[in-house]
Structure 1
Amino acid sequence: MIPKLAAKGSSFKGAAAYYLHDKGASTNERVAWTATVNLATENPEAAWRIMVATAKDQARLKEQAGIRNTGRKSADVVLAYSLAWHPDEKDGLTREEMLLAAHASIKALGADHCQALIVAHQDEPHPHVHVILNRVSPEDGRMLSSSNEKLNLSRWAEAYERGRGKILCEERVANNQARDMLGEFTRAAKDRPRHLHEQEKGLTKSNKGQMVKDQERSKDAALAAKGRDMHKRHRAEWDKLRTDHKDRRAAIIARAKAATSQVRAEIQAARLPAWRQMHKRHFAELRLFKEREQRLTGKIHNALAAIKSMGAVRGENSAQGFLGNAFNYLTSTAKREAALVQRQQFEKRDFAVEQRREVKTRVAAIRTEQRQEERENVKQLGNKVATLRNSQEHDRQNLRSEWRERNTERSGEWSKVRASRDMRRQVAERFSGRSQGRQDRTK
């Protein structure tokens, strides 16, 4: 199962015109069948028009559902993708099975509430369907999220193949394993915490307070920079891990490809003398045939040889072949020569088939070794991932410890500023009280 996303678009009419007709024509012979999802019609022409109306009615649907019509608007309301089965699965693959797979893929995208038109094509050796999906929900007008849609389809396709009992795309399995183990570790930058502003509130009017503010913010900035450097280094380590994994896998594939080419070359070189000998024998047979055609007895000999050879090629009984073809071969030089050439062509074909069979056997062993190396590569990746996670978690714990110490130190410095401010206020209030007392006594 191979899912493939097309670029998002804004025209259901254009999508329907392409998928419901033959390429570059108004005919529709490549369309095997169609189906609809969450639509009140099975007519594909009516279906895409309803989806157009739904998309245009987005604002009213939101209002009716009590959802504010805010946020950035997008015209890309059309999501189209295909689901392709392996050609070997064609025999026995029913419409019902293909339809169930299409419905399951829609659910994997979180779009089982959306309108969709499913179109099955029969113009390729592999069975496949196309899904035209309306990203605007007919329930509340919300736009379907495009987040992780390719990854979700990939994971669904892997689960689908496992459910059918045979993995046909091993590369996808390896990629999904790598994604599971590597993950995504980037974090958005955070705003300055509110409690830091609360610490500074009312304490920065004095020179001492302003100096402490500058000093503490400088220390915070230095530690924050250290944290950013750590995260940058961590991302670089994960990038290197991914690159190393891909490079090892590419090397495994390259070795297998080179080994396969070498096997083909070796077998071809080993069988080349036999091929030349067969070609030389065919040339001699054709020359002898033409010499015999100069005599009546030779023509009879050639005719009998033609009947015999064609009987062997077609798997016929020689007597029956003689009765059915003797007259044609006895009266026509062209037919006798054609029989000889056809028999020689069958010999060449059998020779090539045997050579391909030998290559296939040798290459199968190479493929088995390649798969084992790829499994070992994934296992090695898992071990490296675990080691790197532990190492980076240790770095993060150390950074958190430094931030705790930084917070304690900062709080202590602001406590000193606060205490100094309170002391100045007390002194000022005491001095103000004494001045007021002297003024009262003077009066």
Structure 2
Amino acid sequence: MIPRVAKSGRSFKGAGLYYLHDKGASTNDRVAFTETVNLPTNDADRGIAHMIDTATHANQLKQQAGIKGGRPLQTPVYCYSLAWHPSETPTKAEQLEAVQATLKRLGVSDRQAVIIGHNDTDHCHVHVMVNRVCPTTGKASTMSNDRLILSDWAHEYREQRGELHFCPERKKNREKRKGGEYIKDQSPSPQDWRAWKKSQTKDIWDTFRADRAKARADRKGQYDALWQQKENRTAQRKEEIKALFKPKWRDLFKKQRYELKNFDAGFFDRLGFAMTRGGRSKIIGFLQAVTNDGALRADFVRDQEREKKQLGQEHKNRIADASREVRKAWQYDHDQLKASHEAQDQRAYDDTKAKSAEIWQERPRDKSGKDFEQTADRRKDHSKRKTIDQITREQLGEDKIREIQKKTRKRARRRKRDGGRKFEP
């Protein structure tokens, strides 16, 4: 049996939203049952509304009971929980019986309360939300030494059932306290717990980042190899196309040399070429053919050059098409490799995130390796505690404190001079 006390709060509504619903959701799947105590309804939400009404009218209740009123209670909400060992399966009646016993031991059996059973962990547990304000007198209960009281009750609860083996250290600590020895819980404080969690998760994420950095170096080699494969394929295709066009170039050069030779030596070849030129009269063409005019020969050579360029462009286009096909295949392989790496990274990220979440999910075992129920009442080290005034003076310094006090007194005098009206500095 582990009793745990939560910090007293201000809002019944806020506590109800947390205990009566799933964490971070509007559903209530984790709520196994609810029960009310000293309330005119069995509905938990309505019961909370009655508790709010009682706490709100605490001063009126005091007046009706003939009790002198005091300062308004700032923290009327008192919550604690009772948790059984994971091997135990107490019935609802047994859980309610334990709650009633703890309410009586704490001296709040006459107070309004809502009991909420949860089933979201591997051990059975209930939460108890108590209104510190008495519904008849309006007085607030004092919950001093509540942890010690609940610890003693938990020891007797186990002792009556012959189950002290669930928590062997509690008996030892109880005997030490009876002997006047102060026993402090050796389990980590919330601050130590968070620091431990952060250190553990930091190691996990550092390992993840180191693996990512190593993977990037390894993967660069894979991408470089893929690019080199593309370059080799492109060069290979160029050589294949070059071999394919080599006979065409050979035939073209051979044909043009033969045609140019006949053009220079044969009148009829020049005449036939001159007659095919547009924009000229036949007489001029005939004269150019007879005289072997240089301008006519230049036109003939230009026509041969255009023929070479046409074949060269065809050769170039074939190389471009082949290079485009090779690049398209490279891009597909590159995208596939990148997708594979991204999937690996996502799996590594999800695994790391799951490990981190698992660490934050449950509280670690304490430093001495106690079992499930080994716990003691934690008390603050009063020798190390500081007042708000001490902390403020350390942070601001004496000079700044005196300056603030001087301004405060000055504003107070001005408000008093103005008849109590608030004065804006």
TM range (shorter): 0.3 to 0.5
State the structure with bigger RCO (CA 8 A, min sep 6), 1 or 2.
2
More helix by share: 1
TM-score, L = length of structure 2: 0.42
Larger radius of gyration: 2
